[in-house]
Structures are given as structure tokens and as C-alpha cells.
């Protein structure tokens, strides 16, 4: 196993500093928004904060508790042998989110693979307005703890080896009543990764990866939408894992529930796992069935 060096730590935090200093630009844009505060806020571009394997800029109402169930079956490659992956190995995440204000969400979750326990936060900096600011801008970040046996981390194990992080800025726009889209740029970091990562990364940042994502939604009825997503890790060799993730599905939502069922490549669930360890190649048919369910209670 490969332990992280001080130099990589420095580069990582410099990268995160660069991302966070971008908030200044967002706040300066928000100052423009404040000058046009009388302009109405456009309805949120998405029904849920979860979109296949991605986060969105959408937030539940203030003081809402949200229960999340995310389930990924095995790949469909074996066909009827394991009922298109339904009888295969699965991955599951349970989570709870709470919106402290209309713009600030905090959450916790637990995931089956690697026994990951995660803490997450999402903050919306700016809202799209009619005739005003053209985008909704938000930041999502998390920290995850790998709770598997310490023998998995090698003879030089330190508790901090269990930690991984992810941060992403998301830019979304509701183009019309029927169509919304979002672009995200994120950074994944692991305090410890397997030494084989050097065979997949195009540079020395083995513990890190730059992550780009795009999602789009087309409403086909007041409660139903078609969903499409694509994400790509940047620091990876061509034809090597981590593979890109693609997803196609349908969402049915109400004021308190959202149900999404889809086909996608990634069996991992939290974003840094997809950015660093997606071993399903969608171009070779390594796809799987997944679903997300959210339930809201407003206090």
C-alpha cells in the first residue's frame, strides 16, 4: 500500500484552496444578484438533490429531514444467470440529510462496500432569477471514513489512512419548463490508495483525481422526467480504470418523495469512490440497475 507524502498533501490543499477561492467570484456574482433582488427566483432546476450517481444544486425546504436509500445491483453482463445482476453482489447506502436553512444542508450516511461512514454538506451560493442571474450555483463536499479492518491498510497503518474527501462546484440552469442541465467540477482525495494506482494515473497525483460531470433532465409529465448523466475522471490513462460513468433513467417525484430507477456503470455510490475506483467499463457493457428513493419530512 502507498502512504501519502507531504508534497501530495500540499498539492491537494493548494488545489482545494484554489477551489474555495472561487467562492469569491460566486459572492461577487451574488452581489449582482442582490442588486436585482426584486427579480423572481426561478423554480429549482431539479426535483431532488440526488440525480442517479450525482448531486444537484436542489435543496429541500428549510428545516426538512430527508431519508435517502441508494441501491446498486450487480452488472447485467451475466444475463439470466443472476437475473441481470439482481441476484449479484450489491451496494447500498442509507443516509439522512437536514436543511438548516434553505441554502445549507448537512448529512450523514453509511455505505455497504468498504463500510464507509460519510459526513456531507451542501451550500447554495446563488439562485437563477428571471431576467437576472442565469445560474444556480452550489458547493457539495464530504468526508468519508473507511471502517474495514485495519489490516487492509498495510503494516504502516495510521488512523488517518481511513479518510477520503470530495468537493464539487455545481452550475445549473433551468432552460425552460421541460429541460434543465448542470455541469460540475470536483476534486477527490484519498489519504491512502493502493500502489497500483500509479498504473492508472497520468501524473504523480495518485491520491487525487479531478472529476467532471454533466447531467440533464427532460420533464415528460408534471411528476415524471427522463434523466441522463455522464462523469469522467481526468487523471487517468485511456482504457484504464477508473472508467467514466454514464447513466440513463426515469424519475417520479412528488412534494415529499422522489423515486429514480436507471441503468448506470458505477456500483460505488459516494462520489470519490466513483472518481477513483469505478471498475465497470460502460463501453464493454458493464452496466447495472440502480435506484434512489428519498422521503422528506418538514418541521
Per residue in 230-289, pLDDT (tens digit) is: 999 999 999 999 999 999 999 999 989 999 999 999 999 999 999 999 999 999 999 999
Per residue in 48-64, pLDDT (tens digit) is: 999 999 999 999 999 99
Q: Is the pLDDT of residue 3 over 60?
A: no
Q: What is the mean pLDDT of the chain?
A: 90
Per residue in 140-150, pLDDT (tens digit) is: 999 999 999 99
Instruction: Give the pLDDT of residue 39.
Output: 86
Instruction: Give the pLDDT of residue 118.
Output: 98
Which residue has better confidence, 163 or 154?
163
Percentage of the chain modeled with pLDDT above 70: 88
Instruction: Give the pLDDT of residue 207.
Output: 95
Instruction: Give the pLDDT of residue 37.
Output: 57
Instruction: Give the pLDDT of residue 15.
Output: 54
Q: Is the pLDDT of residue 36 over 60?
A: no
Instruction: Give the pLDDT of residue 108.
Output: 98
DSSP per position, the chain: -EEPPHHHHHHHHHHHHHHHHHHHHHHHHHHHHHHTTTSPBPPPS-S-SEETTEE-S--PPTTEEEEEEEEEEEEGGGGGGGTTTTTS--EEEEEEEEESSSSEEEEEEEETGGGEEEEEEEEEEE--BTTS---EEEEEEEEEEE-S-GGGG-TT--GGGGEEEEEEEEEEEE-SSSEEEEEEEEEEEESEE-GGGGGT-SSS-TTEEEEEEEEEEEESSSSEEEEEEEEEESSS-TTSSSPPEEEEEEEEE-SSEEEEEEEES----SHHHHHHH----GGGT--EEEEEEEEEEE-
Per residue in 199-234, pLDDT (tens digit) is: 899 988 899 999 999 999 999 999 999 999 999 999
The domains located in the chain, with CATH, are 2-298 (2.40.160.40)
Instruction: Give the pLDDT of residue 67.
Output: 98
Instruction: Give the pLDDT of residue 73.
Output: 97
Q: Is the pLDDT of residue 9 over 80?
A: no
Q: Please report which confidence band the pLDDT of residue 26 belongs to, taking 50, 70 and 90 as the band edges.
A: very low
Q: Is the pLDDT of residue 25 over 80?
A: no
Amino acid at each position: 500500500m502507498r502512504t501519502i507524502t507531504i508534497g501530495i498533501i500540499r498539492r491537494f490543499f493548494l488545489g482545494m484552496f484554489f477551489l474555495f477561492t472561487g467562492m469569491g467570484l460566486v459572492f461577487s456574482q451574488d452581489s449582482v444578484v442582490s442588486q436585482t433582488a426584486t427579480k423572481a427566483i426561478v423554480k429549482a432546476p431539479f426535483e431532488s438533490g440526488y440525480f442517479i450517481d450525482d448531486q444537484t444544486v436542489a435543496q429541500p425546504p428549510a428545516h426538512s429531514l430527508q431519508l435517502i436509500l441508494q441501491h446498486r445491483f450487480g452488472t447485467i453482463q451475466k444475463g439470466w444467470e443472476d437475473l441481470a445482476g439482481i441476484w449479484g453482489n450489491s451496494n447500498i447506502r442509507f443516509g439522512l440529510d437536514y436543511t438548516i436553512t434553505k441554502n445549507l444542508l448537512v448529512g450523514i450516511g453509511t455505505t455497504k462496500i468498504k463500510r464507509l461512514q460519510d459526513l456531507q454538506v451542501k451550500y447554495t451560493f446563488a439562485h437563477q432569477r428571471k431576467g437576472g442571474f442565469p445560474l444556480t450555483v452550489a458547493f457539495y463536499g464530504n468526508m468519508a471514513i473507511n471502517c474495514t479492518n485495519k489490516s487492509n491498510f498495510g503494516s504502516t497503518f495510521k488512523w488517518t489512512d481511513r479518510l477520503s474527501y470530495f468537493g464539487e462546484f455545481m452550475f445549473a440552469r433551468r432552460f425552460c419548463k421541460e429541460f434543465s442541465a448542470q455541469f460540475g467540477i470536483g476534486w477527490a482525495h484519498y489519504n491512502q490508495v493502493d500502489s497500483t494506482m500509479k498504473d492508472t494515473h497520468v501524473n504523480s497525483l495518485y491520491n487525487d483525481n479531478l472529476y467532471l460531470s454533466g447531467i440533464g433532465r427532460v420533464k415528460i409529465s408534471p411528476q415524471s422526467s427522463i434523466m441522463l448523466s455522464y462523469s469522467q475522471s481526468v487523471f487517468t490513462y485511456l482504457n484504464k480504470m477508473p472508467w467514466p460513468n454514464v447513466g440513463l433513467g426515469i424519475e417520479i417525484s412528488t412534494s415529499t418523495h422522489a423515486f429514480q430507477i436507471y441503468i448506470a456503470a458505477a456500483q460505488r455510490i459516494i462520489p470519490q469512490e466513483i472518481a477513483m475506483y469505478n471498475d465497470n467499463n460502460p463501453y464493454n457493457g458493464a452496466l447495472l440497475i440502480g435506484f434512489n428513493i428519498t422521503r422528506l419530512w418538514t418541521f
